[in-house]
Chain A
């Protein structure tokens, strides 16, 4: 079946740093979605991407739909403490179910 590899698995951030994470797949997707989940809550949709090469921003977040349609990237600029949480990518090809990555855990450096 389709699988997504999301990396890094976890990362520590210092306030003000830029953050990057990505998802790769062996399959082609037509849609990429990025979600953020706070502890004990449901995931919240951050950005939806529908076209290869598309670059979409939501405030300090920017996501890109890879040109090969097998990957996607999420960048967070000038991170703040409330950015901590788990970020999930999800991909879907026509007629198939949404497939989720295992998540990237964002923590604050102490």
Chain B
């Protein structure tokens, strides 16, 4: 089955700790994206990558970091510098020939 997987579904961390969220796709898509969703708001772009070993900051990149060492993987690290990290994080991917983005099931991160 082709798709995007995010793990874990729920993640709990203490303030001051870095945490890495996983995103894997087997759709052979070139582009991958990370979004943050807060209650009552639309999706805000954190980082995106259009090709392996290259990535760009989105609208709210401060306090986050990413890597793209493999086509199928785009992990997101939420660092201790992110002031308000508790949110629902969504990963998406897109085939290079289309504008359609497909989303994973999301990871809900709670930092206390």
Contact = CB atoms under 8 A, between A and B. Distances in A.
B is bound to A: yes
Interface of A: 1, 4, 6, 30-31, 33, 35, 40-45, 48, 50, 88, 90, 92, 97-98, 100-103
Interface residues of B, number: 22
Given A42-B90, A42-B105, A98 B58 contact: no
A96 to B, nearest CB: 10
A102 B44 CA distance: 10
12 contacts: A4-B42, A40-B106, A42-B103, A42-B106, A43-B43, A45-B101, A48-B99, A88-B42, A97-B48, A98-B101, A102-B40, A102-B41
B77 to A, nearest CB: 20
B100 interface: yes
Interface of B: 4, 6, 40-43, 45, 48, 58-59, 88, 90, 92, 99-106, 108
Contact of A40 (B58, B92, B102, B108): B108
Contact of B100 (A30, A45, A97, A102): A45
A100 B99 contact: no
A33 B100 contact: yes
